[in-house]
Chains A and B, each alone.
Chain A
Amino acid sequence: MSDTTISVRNLYKVFGDDPANAMKLVRDGVSKGELLERTGHVIGLSDINMQIERRQIQVVMGLSGSGKSTLIRHLNRLIDPTEGEIEIDGQDIMAYGEKDLLKFRRHNISMVFQRFALFPHRTVLENIGFGLGTQQRPKDEIKNRALRWIDRVGLSGYEDYFPSQLSGGMQQRVGLARALATDAEILLMDEAFSALDPLIRAEMQTILLDLQEELHKTIVFITHDLDEALHIGDRIAILRDGEIIQDDDPQNIIMKPADDYVADFMKDINRSRVVRARSIMTKLRGTETGPKINAAMILEDVAQVMGKTPNKASIVVNKQGDPVGRLTIAGVIKGMARPDSTGTRIT
């Protein structure tokens, strides 16, 4: 089911006093560094094209300063583009006037922030009910729904606490509940878990995936962390200096990085935990038999299964159980190694 919610076309953002003029140079292909030197303008985003599918988690990944925050803020128009089109649910959001924009932000899109950005003078309950307040719902309803979300993110008992009294992980649960409480279909998360300790971060990822299982939101998730991107993303876009280098299925990103920059990202990951059987399987050979392996299985688990049987090859099956390919021990080992065709560096 391919159904686009967010469609971004030829989006440019130039920061500075006279972006319209600087745009001319950008269109002529002047680089980020050169533009800065010649005009003092900063290229935030350059010719971004993205189609984000409904009910998917689209990850946007890139180093600090690559334009991730700038990009995500265009989707709810906290930042307006210098040039380009943004369509959401078939609507040109750039055409929205003041009123439409407020309505759009109240009902259709919500956001979770890197440094939580909770309202410090409001309690947990009031923070979570904030979006419902701007939707001007009756007080009772706000309270009941906020209480439900507090429960969902595991903060029951903390209703009357202020944000400063909570740990970082708990604060971001409030941030998540605040964003979900408005029932908006689109959820923007700008490095929402980056400020958290690794353990808490993993916990938050699990909470998010559990919620997504049931809510099926369209989520744009920003991170600079590849493990997080691979864990969460249905699709990953990689951003460098304001340009999208690769926007692909996670397995493709691992197996076929578009260039050295992307390959460089991959070099430290534990491939046995992220590469899936379907990404490295080869064609079936006639009537071979062997242990059955799920196509979505990670190599670590494949190795576990194959280590226990004398068979040379195992059979990869899809969800329905139909055989779709084969995988040998040698193939598994090869899959765990860095691909040497692209940008491999021995470090």
Chain B
Amino acid sequence: METWLLEFPQMSQDALRAIKRGIDKGYLSFSRTYGADIEAVFEPVLYFLVWFEKLLLNAPWWLIILVIVGITWFAARRWTLVLGVAAALLLIGYFGMWENTMRTMAMILVCTLLAILIGIPIGILMSRSDRTQSTVLPVLDVMQTMPSFVYLIPVVMLLGIGKVPGLLAVVIYAIPPVIRLTNLGIRLVDREVLEAGDAFGTSKWQKLYDIQIPLAMPTIMAGINQTIMMALAMVVIASMIGVKGLGQPVLQAVTNQYFALGLFNGLAVVALAIIFDRVTQSWGHRMQTYRQGMGDE
């Protein structure tokens, strides 16, 4: 029998090596040329992240808990949730994970903010043209199925190790849901309501601000919620490229087989996830009370 029937007809090792080397070299020279510029672009973000992290670390713990509890109450108006959040934060502090939690929280919030600032405009653009949608959607599909570790490599090559590459990896990994659901939410707005807007002479911008975005908001909130969850997952992984926070002890625990350390920090991540999830979800829910005919409260 022919050999190519028995064994997969691979390209030669040399050729494969040459291709990989070519790509690596090309990217390396790209990052040598532009790395500094790209880092400069992220300078303000880094500055903000550092400032915010310091703020969280330096503020008294009880003040932070009060603020978070206040936000929870504002967003959800549910006592059970408020009490749960307070208890979770107190436990985290009692088990000595306060500082790392604050670092992770700062990172998540800044990453989410960035993802929203970039993602919502992209989602809006997608909703306005079928062409844009059909080009962006496959890209998002690839981004969401690519194993998260793969993002770390080009980012590290480009920017080295530290906060900014971590931030970039997290934002890239976490941005798809917010884009997707902004697009979807706007496309789902009732056509008759839009027609009414037209009939009263709303301009494109008025329609976007007064009708489309408010009506898409619950869907956009669901996207933001998913983005936060993904950012949280990625922050742990990004500890591999020097992002400080709850991820680092977990990484340490894996390499040294410290089960308890891994478990505690893992649970802290879970607690953060639940807090973010419940707060954003109840807020999103409360935003659409008008749909259920229940009034404002």
Asked if B201 lies at the interface with its beta carbon under 8 angstroms from chain A, I say yes
A residues 97-124 in Cβ contact with B at 8 Å: 101-107, 110-111, 113, 115, 117-121
A residues 142-180 in Cβ contact with B at 8 Å: 160-165, 178
* Distance, CA A120 to CA B292, complexed state (A): 10
A113 touching B214 by the CB < 8 A rule? no
User: What would 17 A/B residue contacts be, using CB atoms closer than 8 Å?
Assistant: A78-B198, A102-B201, A105-B201, A107-B201, A110-B200, A113-B195, A117-B192, A118-B196, A119-B193, A120-B215, A121-B215, A134-B206, A162-B293, A164-B292, A165-B294, A165-B295, A178-B200
7 tightest A-B contacts by CB? Answer: A105-B201, A106-B201, A117-B196, A162-B290, A164-B293, A111-B199, A117-B192
Asked if B229 lies at the interface with its beta carbon under 8 angstroms from chain A, I say no
* Distance, CA A104 to CA B198, complexed state (A): 11
Minimum CB–CB distance from B54 to chain A (whole Å) comes to 39
* Distance, CA A225 to CA B209, complexed state (A): 38
Q: Which residue from chain B places its CB closest to the CB of A76 in the assembled complex?
A: B199
Most central of B200, B203, B210, B295 by chain A CB within 10 Å: B200
Task: Indicate the size class of the contact surface on chain B.
Answer: 20 to 34
Among B192, B200, B296, the residue within 8 A (CB) of A134 is: B200
Asked if A182 lies at the interface with its beta carbon under 8 angstroms from chain B, I say yes
Q: Which residue from chain A places its CB closest to the CB of B200 in the assembled complex?
A: A131
Asked if B211 lies at the interface with its beta carbon under 8 angstroms from chain A, I say yes
A134 touching B201 by the CB < 8 A rule? yes
Among A104, A121, A134, A160, the residue within 8 A (CB) of B202 is: A134
* Distance, CA A346 to CA B196, complexed state (A): 44
* 15 additional A-B residue pairs with CB within 8 Å, beyond A110-B199, A117-B193, A165-B295: A76-B199, A78-B195, A105-B199, A105-B200, A105-B201, A106-B201, A111-B199, A118-B196, A119-B211, A120-B291, A134-B201, A162-B295, A164-B293, A165-B294, A178-B200
Asked if A130 lies at the interface with its beta carbon under 8 angstroms from chain B, I say yes
A residues 174-211 in Cβ contact with B at 8 Å: 178, 182, 188
**List of B residues within 8 angstroms of A119 by Cβ:** 193, 196-197, 211
* Distance, CA A188 to CA B196, complexed state (A): 12
With A161-B295, A162-B295 in contact, do A105 and B192 touch (Cβ < 8 Å)?
no
**List of A residues within 8 angstroms of B296 by Cβ:** 160
Minimum CB–CB distance from B180 to chain A (whole Å) comes to 22
B199 touching A78 by the CB < 8 A rule? yes
Minimum CB–CB distance from A158 to chain B (whole Å) comes to 12
Q: Is the interface of B mostly helix, strand, loop or mixed?
A: helix
Q: Which residue from chain B places its CB closest to the CB of A111 in the assembled complex?
A: B199
A residues 207-234 in Cβ contact with B at 8 Å: none
**Chain B interfacial positions (CB closer than 8 Å to A):** 190, 192-193, 195-203, 206, 210-211, 214-215, 290-296
**List of B residues within 8 angstroms of A107 by Cβ:** 201
Task: Indicate the size class of the contact surface on chain A.
Answer: 20 to 34
B201 touching A103 by the CB < 8 A rule? yes
**List of B residues within 8 angstroms of A164 by Cβ:** 290-293
* Distance, CA A107 to CA B199, complexed state (A): 11
B192 touching A120 by the CB < 8 A rule? no
**List of A residues within 8 angstroms of B190 by Cβ:** 117, 120
* Distance, CA A102 to CA B198, complexed state (A): 8
**List of B residues within 8 angstroms of A134 by Cβ:** 200-202, 206
Q: Which residue from chain B places its CB closest to the CB of A136 in the assembled complex?
A: B206
B195 touching A117 by the CB < 8 A rule? yes
* Distance, CA A134 to CA B199, complexed state (A): 11
B202 touching A113 by the CB < 8 A rule? no
Minimum CB–CB distance from A283 to chain B (whole Å) comes to 49
**List of B residues within 8 angstroms of A76 by Cβ:** 199
B193 touching A120 by the CB < 8 A rule? yes
Q: Which residue from chain A places its CB closest to the CB of B202 in the assembled complex?
A: A134
**List of B residues within 8 angstroms of A130 by Cβ:** 200
**List of B residues within 8 angstroms of A110 by Cβ:** 199-200
Most central of B201, B211, B292, B294 by chain A CB within 10 Å: B201
B215 touching A182 by the CB < 8 A rule? no
**List of B residues within 8 angstroms of A182 by Cβ:** 200
Most central of A119, A178, A188 by chain B CB within 10 Å: A119
* Distance, CA A126 to CA B200, complexed state (A): 14
Q: Which residue from chain A places its CB closest to the CB of B217 in the assembled complex?
A: A121
* Distance, CA A115 to CA B192, complexed state (A): 8
**List of A residues within 8 angstroms of B292 by Cβ:** 164
* Distance, CA A121 to CA B296, complexed state (A): 11
B293 touching A165 by the CB < 8 A rule? yes
* Distance, CA A133 to CA B202, complexed state (A): 9
